[in-house]
Amino acid sequence: MADTYSRVPGDFHGTGFRPRVFAVRVFLPFAAGYFLSYVFRTVDGTIANALVRDLGLSAGTLGTLTSLYFLTFAALQLPLGALIDRYGPRRVNAVLLAVAGAGAVLFGLSREVAVLMLARALIGLGTAGALMTGLKALALRMPKERLAAINGIFVMFGGMGAAAATAPAWLAMRLVGWHALFLGLGAATALVALAVYAVVPEHGAAGTAAAARGSCARALLEGVRRVYGDAAFWRLAPLSACVIGTAFAVQSLWAARWMVDVSRFGSTSVMAYLGLMGGALMLGAVLIGTIASALRRRGVAPMTIFGCAAAVFLLVQATLILRVAAPAAVVWAGFAVFAGMTVLSYAILAEMFPQELLGRANGALNVMHLGMAFAIQAAMGGIVDVWAPGADGHYPVAAYQAAFLLPFVLGSGALAWFVYARPAARGVEAAAPLPAAALFAAEEAVDYC
């Protein structure tokens, strides 16, 4: 499809940019895909009771089933930038979303656990490029002076997807069942994939991409080697992976299971609290970025801000594990707010590495984030399974306390390492203000080669 609109003169301060056409033909198709990726990431917590009831799943099997999303999602992160650079965001996103749609349909049709696991893995693989292809497409089309604002709006679609996967998805499941819910999600994903392929114009830089194909893979591997060999990266990465991995694992499954078995909330209350967490997640990154920027102007280094935020996140976890008498809404909202710490991680990477390595650094960190989410979510299910459910079908409180202790111990060890290893990364303290660095990091995350 020819690139017919980005060069029309005189439409946007002489740039040839037409906002309405851009919104319909670029922004909305990619934003819809990103929205659906967050629905798929979060919805298993909403349907968990139905899966356990209909299929007789143990906690361990449920944890493994849900966590496969993160495993295949993580597996594609390193080569994804090279694929986008070679084939363009339109083609990559359309193909991947088609895979996700097929996975969702397979999930909806299946009655066997092994097939459900395959379907969940396909969904994770198919949604792995939703964010990065979208950011790349926006960067290729949007005037630079407006890119930061449109990136922020785009990222908010993910939070909207997380919120949609709670009460709205639960109501839909009550009406038609989880099988039909996933068939509907599969059909919606296929339509979005078709819209991306049919509506989004091809970018006219194929010649540049073709010229870079020969060296792209070598550049990717060399850049990743340099990132993983950097001592400053290894100060940040374990703590970042533990925090984000815990947030993903808990918010997408184990928060709902805690609410059902420990707090004994009814379905309506569970959906309300999950919806609250979705809203808090949307606001968390903005809130943390704003506070960090204000502290930065007062001379507080980004690494210090990140370490303090991680310590607060661990404190919230301890409040849950010890069952401290505190309003549940405050505790779960606090958990979700500090799940937005990703913005700090990527902002710090933007200060650690030069521009030509930044995309690969982000990809390397993404692998650790999502790999940790897979490991924690699956392991927590195995720990809960050590206890047998009671006659009422609920697992005992001790089972969940032990399971939630795992990410707390991992995070505490990572925080201790972060503090201990500080001299190895003293040079990583100065650069652009945090929100700008974070947005720059997001844009560069798609430019691996």
pLDDT exceeds 60 at position 437: no
CATH number, span 19-444: 1.20.1250.20
**Cα gap 447→357, rounded to integer Å:** 9
Per-residue tokens: 323: 């069952």
Model confidence pLDDT, tens digit, residues 85-106? 778 889 999 999 999 999 999 9
Find all residues with CB under 8 Å of 253, minimum gap 6, and list them.
44, 45, 48, 62, 63, 66, 67, 377
pLDDT tens sequence across 374-393: 999 999 999 999 999 988 88
What are the pLDDT digits (tens) for 291-307? 776 777 788 888 888 89
Task: Tell me how many degrees the CA angle 293-329-245 measures, rounded to the nearest 5.
Answer: 60
Query: Model's pTM, two decimal places?
Result: 0.78
b/e map of 196-214 (b: 16 or more CB within 10 Å)? bbeebbebeeeeebeeeee
Whether residue 181 has pLDDT greater than 50: yes
Ordered DSSP codes for 297-363: HTT--HHHHHHHHHHHHHHHHHHHHTT-S--HHHHHHHHHHHGGGHHHHHHHHHHHS-HHHHHHHHH
What are the sequence ranges of the domains in the chain? 19-444
Dihedral sign for Cα 111, 112, 113, 116, please: negative
Q: Is the pLDDT of residue 438 over 60?
A: no
pLDDT of residue 352: 83
Residues, the chain, total? 449
8 by DSSP, 3-state: which? Answer: coil
> How many C-beta atoms lie closer than 10 Å to residue 433's C-beta?
15
Residue with tokens 């925080």: 415
364 vs 264 pLDDT, higher one = 264
Angle separating helix axes 302-321 and 342-352, nearest 10 degrees:
150
